[in-house]
C-alpha cells in the first residue's frame, strides 16, 4: 500500500516510516497538514497516518477534507493522538477517521491497523470496480434499448426523445428544425421477389448508406418497417431540408442494388421522401409536423417515387407561402 505519514515531529515520522517500510509498504511523509493535503490531492494514497496536532491543518480537519473533497476516492485514515481521552477519540472518528493510535506507537499496534486498512481498501476498490462495471453495463443496456437491432440506427424510442428535445429547444430559443420521412420504394415487391432475408439485408445496406451520408448534426432513425426519419436541428429553411433529403436519396440510388421486381424504372432500390419544417412563423405541434412530412411522402410516391417532396412552412423565405403546395425534387 501507499501510506502517507503526516506528523510535525521528526522522530514520530521516522518511527512510523520505519515500521511501515519494514512491513513492505511505500511511504510518503509530510511535516504539516497543508503539505499532507497537497499530497493527498495529487498522489494515489491508500492509507493516511496523521497526527492530531499539526501546523496548517490539524488531523481532524484533514480527515474531514479527505471524506468530503476527494471525489469518491477512499483513503483509510488512522488518527494518532498523544491523549487517551475517549471523547477526543470519538471526535476524531466523527471527523472521518477509521481508527486511532495512542502515542507512543509500537510496531504491533501499527501492523494491526495496517492489516485492517489493507482489507478495507481492497474491499473499497472491489466495490468501486463493481460499480464502474455496473454503470457501463447499464449504459450499454440503455444504448441497446434505443437502437434498432436490425439496422443499428436509433429506434423509434430514441427518435421520439430526440424529436421532443429538438422541438422544445426550437420553441425555447426561437430556432427552426426540419424532418424528412423516407420510405423504400416497392419494398413489399422486393421482399416477395427476393425473400425476407434479402429484404433485411437491404435494410441494413440502406442504414449503412444513411450513416455514411448524413452530416455532422444530422440524425437518422428507423421509423418503422421500411421507413426512416432524418432529423435536421437548426435547419434554416424547407429548401435546405429538401437538399439534405435529396443528397441521401441520391446516395441510396447510387448503390444500385438490383430490384427487378419493381414496376417502374430504374430497376434498382430507391427511396422517396417527404420534408417538413418547423419555424417560428409556422409553430406547428410536433405531431402535425410529422403528418405534413407523411403527406409529402405520400405525394412523392404518388408522383412516381425516387423523389423528395416538400411541404412549405408558413412564412418560409425560400418557398411560396401556400398551404398544400408540393415541390418535387426528382
Assess contact for 230 and 218: CB atoms under 8 A: yes
SS (H, E, C) 226-279: CEEEEEEECCCCHHHHHHHHHHHHHHHHHCCCECCCCCCCCCECCEEEEEEEEC
Question: Percentages helix, strand, coil for the chain, rounded to the nearest 5?
Answer: 50, 20, 30
Assess contact for 295 and 259: CB atoms under 8 A: no
DSSP string, 96-154: T-SEEEESSP-HHHHHHHHHHHHHHHHHHHHHHHHHHHHHHHHHHHHHHHTB-TTT-SB
C-alpha cell at 252: 441510396
DSSP string, 293-313: HHHHHHHHHHTTSSSEEEPPP
CA angle at residue 269 from 265 to 272, to 5 degrees? 85
Burial of 55 (0-12, 13-18, 19+ CB in 10 A): exposed
C-alpha cell at 195: 425473400
Whether the bond between 266 and the residue before it is cis, its omega within 30 degrees of 0, is yes
Cα 32 from Cα 56, distance rounded (Å): 6
CA angle at residue 269 from 154 to 230, to 5 degrees? 30
Is 226 a catalytic site residue? yes
* Residue 58 φ/ψ region, left for φ over 0, alpha for ψ in the -120 to 50 degree band, beta for the rest: beta
Q: Which of 43, 61, 118, 226 is labelled catalytic?
A: 226
Catalytic residues: 226
Amino acid at each position: 500500500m501507499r501510506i502517507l505519514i503526516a506528523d510535525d515531529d521528526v522522530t514520530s515520522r521516522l518511527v512510523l516510516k520505519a515500521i511501515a517500510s519494514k512491513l513492505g509498504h511505500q511511504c510518503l511523509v509530510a511535516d504539516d497538514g497543508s503539505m499532507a493535503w497537497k499530497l493527498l490531492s495529487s498522489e494515489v494514497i491508500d492509507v493516511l497516518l496523521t497526527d492530531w496536532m499539526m501546523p496548517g491543518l490539524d488531523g481532524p480537519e484533514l480527515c474531514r477534507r479527505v471524506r468530503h473533497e476527494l471525489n469518491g476516492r477512499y483513503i483509510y485514515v488512522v488518527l494518532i493522538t498523544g491523549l487517551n481521552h475517549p471523547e477526543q477519540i470519538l471526535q476524531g472518528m466523527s471527523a472521518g477517521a477509521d481508527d486511532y493510535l495512542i502515542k507512543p506507537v509500537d510496531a504491533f499496534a501499527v501492523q494491526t491497523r495496517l492489516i485492517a486498512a489493507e482489507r478495507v481498501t481492497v474491499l473499497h476498490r472491489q466495490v468501486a470496480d463493481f460499480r464502474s462495471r455496473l454503470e457501463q453495463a447499464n449504459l450499454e443496456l440503455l444504448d441497446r434499448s434505443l437502437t434498432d437491432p436490425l439496422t443499428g440506427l436509433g429506434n423509434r424510442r430514441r427518435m421520439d426523445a430526440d424529436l421532443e428535445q429538438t422541438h422544445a429547444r426550437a420553441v425555447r430559443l426561437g430556432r427552426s428544425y426540419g424532418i424528412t420521412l423516407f420510405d423504400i420504394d416497392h419494398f413489399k415487391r422486393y421482399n416477395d421477389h427476393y425473400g425476407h432475408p434479402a429484404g433485411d439485408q437491404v435494410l441494413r445496406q440502406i442504414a449503412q448508406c444513411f450513416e455514411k451520408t448524413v452530416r455532422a448534426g444530422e440524425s437518422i432513425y428507423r421509423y418503422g418497417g421500411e421507413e426512416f426519419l432524418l432529423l435536421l436541428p437548426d435547419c434554416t429553411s424547407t429548401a435546405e431540408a429538401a437538399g439534405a433529403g435529396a443528397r441521401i436519396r441520391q446516395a441510396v440510388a447510387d448503390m444500385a442494388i438490383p430490384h427487378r421486381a419493381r414496376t417502374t424504372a430504374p430497376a434498382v432500390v430507391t427511396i422517396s421522401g417527404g420534408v417538413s419544417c418547423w419555424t417560428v412563423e409556422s409553430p406547428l405541434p410536433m405531431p402535425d409536423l410529422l403528418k405534413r412530412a407523411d403527406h409529402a411522402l405520400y405525394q412523392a410516391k404518388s408522383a412516381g417515387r425516387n423523389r423528395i417532396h416538400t411541404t412549405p412552412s408558413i412564412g418560409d423565405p425560400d418557398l411560396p407561402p401556400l398551404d398544400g403546395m408540393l415541390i418535387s425534387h426528382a
